[in-house]
Structure 1
Amino acid sequence: MAGYDKSVEAGVRGVGAATLPASASASPSPRGSIRTSSSNRDAADVIQAKPQHKWQSYIWDSLDKSPQERKFLFKLDAAVLTFASLGYFIKYLDQININNAFVSGMKEDLGLYKNQLNYMQTCWTVGYVIGEIPSNMILTRVRPSIWIPAMELLWTVLTFCLCKCNSASSIYALRFLVGLAESTFYPGMVYVIGSWYRRDELAKRSCIFHTSSAIGSMFSGYLMAGVYKLGGKGGLKGWQWLFVVDGIISLPVAISGFFLLPDVPEITRAWYFSPAEREYAKKRMELEGRAQRAPYTKAKFRKIFTSWKIYALTVLYITFNNAGSGVGQPTFAQYLKASKHPKYTISQINTYPTTTYAVQIVSTLIYAWTSDSIFRGARWPPIVFGGLVSIVCYASLAVWNIPVGWHWACYILAGCGGGLSGLCMAWAHEICSDDNEERALVTGSMNELAYVFQAWLPLVVWQQIDAPEYHKGFVTSACLSAGMIVTAFVIRFLWKREQAKTRKNLELP
């Protein structure tokens, strides 16, 4: 498969290890496969040097695998993807709600006519930045099934509290704490997903997980349009009801994590896996060359920080994440709110921008399937395509005086650049598969430093007082998209060089 390191390129065929007797021992096969002893030939575990992909795998990767492996993946998907997707949904619901509340009466009720919205977003980002890397390091020592849901419960309570804020300063404080609690979820779930899935499975799952962020952003707009009508009930304004309803939605999702998250293969105690299936999960990751947990040592830190991986992959994610801030900021909503002819209603201002997230959802899924199948595991082609679309959209918006139809199209099509997060993280898992702690630290650093930039960059280029034109912001997003494309090519070159060196070393006597 293109882009794979042949030294770890392997696949599981035949029936799964879940059916193997404990006494089964491995013996070499004359055709390069490893088979168990003949005590149960029909239940033999076959590990091929290079799996042959059938046409069914273009639809879904488990369709060309054994019934036992399909059953295992079904259980894993049902638990991990369900919780990951719902959790990411509520994370974005609780993260983006401040924008919807702002354009739905909060600005006028609290007198927020300067750059207070920027400061609210920055407070959240500062909390998020502070918590990310420590949280991912904790996850290599504490069970994810305890740590992640506990933090979800905390940010759910804080979301409820936002409905009672009556000043910008109180919102700043709570937004900081919400960001601190939410910092555990995304890098944590990226680490968990990367601990369970093989290369031909990882991109699709990562991208399905990431579509939940766009769905959450869309739903927040629809929800605000709906709960706005509750204004006055219970002594709360419409925008205050948004925080209450968000908290109600988030609570059961947070609690479910204590029961659904399977931790990582080597320590899992998931109730829905048999002991044999737990061993099978470990074997799958061994075949993938994905290292298990090990202590943090000075030598390990030296290895991580003298490698190109942590730096190049972090730059890739910084450019991706901050190029997409043109979508993350309420630019489309503020453009609609500033319109005089025609003048849009609160409902329209909240719902029309959701079309951008619809494009993000569709493009994310297209990237996942094409990357895994058509491009045979290569992650860079969709990244380059999304970057090119973003350059066109943001450069056009920077010009500003363009036809109204193209103006709308640019806001909407900019969603094509927001669906690349899953591919970036899947690529990082594959590149760092031989060191568990490096994988955790690199993926954590990618997200961490992306938000370090997000903490201050909007204060410079996305100032509220520049709305709705945001010339500096659109120019910056176009330039960052170009930087993302260049970085993707650099990573491709460095990784191919490293793979070639590894193969050469393996060939030496």
Structure 2
Amino acid sequence: MEHHDNLEDPIVAHHAEDVIQVKPKQSWKSYIWDSFDKSPEERHFVFKLDSAVLTFATLGYFIKYLDQSNINNAFVSGMQKDLDLYGNQLNYMQTCWTVGYVIGQIPSNIILTRVRPSIWIPTLELVWTILTFCLSQCNTAGQIYGVRFLVGLAESGFYPGMQFLIGSWYRQDELAKRSCIFHTASAIATMFSGYLMAAVYHLGGIGGMAGWQWLFIIDGCISLPIALLGYVCLPDLPETTRVWYLTPDERAFGQKRMELEGRKGRQPYTRAKIKKIFKSWHIYMLSIVYITFNNNGLSAPVFAQYLHYHKNPVYKIWQVNVYPTATNAVQVVTTLFYAWSSDTIFRGKRWPPILIGAGMNILCYVPLAIWNISRSFKFACYILAGFGGGLSGLIYAWTAEICSDDLEERALVSATINELAYVFQAWLPLIVWEQVDAPRYHKGFITATCFSVVLIIATMVTRHLHEREKAL
């Protein structure tokens, strides 16, 4: 292929060495944006990548979370009453989605190392968009369970797949910002879903449909053009890309950047490789870190449920949908803070912000477990819990760095940590976040606190093992 030949071209290779610094010197400008300290050629290349990869990743994750979280907003905005859902049906709807999400992740990321991401990922998005339209026509809890399972299956490949793709193109000093900016889309989408439900609630009755049904239809209309955009935006992997906006020299340039970071290209799946992956500590410790992060309580719509069941005062539908977005706003701000501080203040270290987020979780969930506190204190705890929700991008950046010398390991570990986290999410809410316990989720708050403690311990163990490995 043409871009492989360019790597052997001495002119191209020499030019790449001239414009790519092994370790770019940092000035005050890098505290604003990492590419400001790089050569004009590399800066232009990164700008192209950001314009395509980061834009699509963020929009794609926005619609994924929009279509994932709308079930909670629909539930508290009329669906519960219309479909007579007064047991644990909301838990079961979330569990059905989680089961589909768990089943699909590892196979999807393995496929992604052999099938072009520019084909696979947008096709998954297109499928879950169609299924979102289908949710608007469900009339029973059983129908919703089935469609939610299929939505989870279709969505399963997006987040770990895009984190894998981001880790295939960006250097260490660029990685945390992109991973975290990508992750902020989840909080923004959850906020937007609340605002959107508050707006479309008044469409109830038009076309013979309730407001919550219109939410699914409008979500699907937003999702469709973004899904189609992926077919022209995603660049595949550096060694396989054929995307229109990168010249042959720039494709070779992208491969050279990854060589300098020690990130290997594709290799065959062999018995020795699989054995090496499962004998390493990487897959186990990173899984513990991600499991404890992902199950720290923010997955449950606890703030909205608190407002929904509150009696004095009684909160209106728009308040139930809008007030919890303050938690998501905190998550957006702190996620970006974690990204910039990790790359600059902490000099590429990923673990300090993780400890900050886990510590804030403990400070928020302990008072909620006690529960006998003032309403304003509860509001503060619910809102500040957003500090712990923005760590995913950092963990994935850390994963890409720890597994940099084996592309297949990076793909498998990226999927596995997310899959195991959702394995826990498939059954844990049925025990500790039961709908019948709302709004006082005593077991849930205690569990979230314990998970945060384990997250701190696992992070420090991972740091120790990684430092020891680098010293060998």
Coarse TM-score class (shorter-chain normalised): over 0.9
2:150, 2:17 → 1: CA distance? 52
CA displacement at 1:444 relative to structure 2: 0.6
Amino acid corresponding to residue 130 of structure 1 in structure 2: I
- Determine whether 1:161 maps to 2:97: no
- Out of 447, 450, 457, the residue aligned to residue 421 of structure 2 is 450
TM-score (norm 1): 0.90
Amino acid corresponding to residue 364 of structure 1 in structure 2: T
- Out of 209, 234, 238, the residue aligned to residue 182 of structure 2 is 209
Equivalent residue number for residue 505 of structure 1: none
1:48, 1:91 → 2: CA distance? 36
1:190, 1:44 → 2: CA distance? 27
8 A Cα contact 1:20 1:44, kept in partner: no
TM-score (norm 2): 0.97
Equivalent residue number for residue 58 of structure 1: 31
2:371, 2:196 → 1: CA distance? 30
Equivalent residue number for residue 6 of structure 1: none
- Determine whether 1:109 maps to 2:79: no
**Unaligned regions of 5+ residues in structure 1, if any?**
1-18, 27-35, 502-509
> Aligned to 1:385, what secondary structure does the other structure show?
helix
8 A Cα contact 1:20 1:45, kept in partner: no
- The aligned runs of 1:68-467 (5 Å cut-off) are 68-323=41-296, 326-467=297-438
2:324, 2:362 → 1: CA distance? 19
1:318, 1:210 → 2: CA distance? 16
User: What is the root-mean-square deviation of aligned Cα atoms in Å?
Assistant: 1.4
CA displacement at 1:343 relative to structure 2: 1.1
Equivalent residue number for residue 24 of structure 1: 11
CA displacement at 1:461 relative to structure 2: 0.3
CA separation of 1:44/1:295 partners in 2, compared to 1, >3 Å: closer, same or farther? closer
- The aligned runs of 1:483-498 (5 Å cut-off) are 483-498=454-469
8 A Cα contact 1:88 1:213, kept in partner: yes
CA separation of 1:68/1:469 partners in 2, compared to 1, >3 Å: closer, same or farther? same
Deviations along 1:451-487, one digit per CA (max 9) or x if unpaired, are: 0000000000000000000000010001001100100
> Aligned to 1:112, what secondary structure does the other structure show?
coil
Identity of aligned residues (%): 68
Amino acid corresponding to residue 442 of structure 2 in structure 1: H
Amino acid corresponding to residue 24 of structure 1 in structure 2: I
2:191, 2:336 → 1: CA distance? 16
2:307, 2:427 → 1: CA distance? 26
> Aligned to 2:439, what secondary structure does the other structure show?
coil
CA displacement at 1:24 relative to structure 2: 2.0
> Aligned to 2:298, what secondary structure does the other structure show?
helix
CA displacement at 1:49 relative to structure 2: 4.8
> Aligned to 2:389, what secondary structure does the other structure show?
helix
1:493, 1:120 → 2: CA distance? 40
CA displacement at 1:22 relative to structure 2: 4.0
Q: Which has the larger radius of gyration?
A: 1
8 A Cα contact 2:19 2:41, kept in partner: no
- Out of 453, 458, 469, the residue aligned to residue 440 of structure 2 is 469
CA displacement at 1:25 relative to structure 2: 7.8
2:394, 2:459 → 1: CA distance? 11
Amino acid corresponding to residue 149 of structure 1 in structure 2: P
1:44, 1:170 → 2: CA distance? 58
Amino acid corresponding to residue 355 of structure 1 in structure 2: A
2:151, 2:21 → 1: CA distance? 47
> Aligned to 1:328, what secondary structure does the other structure show?
coil
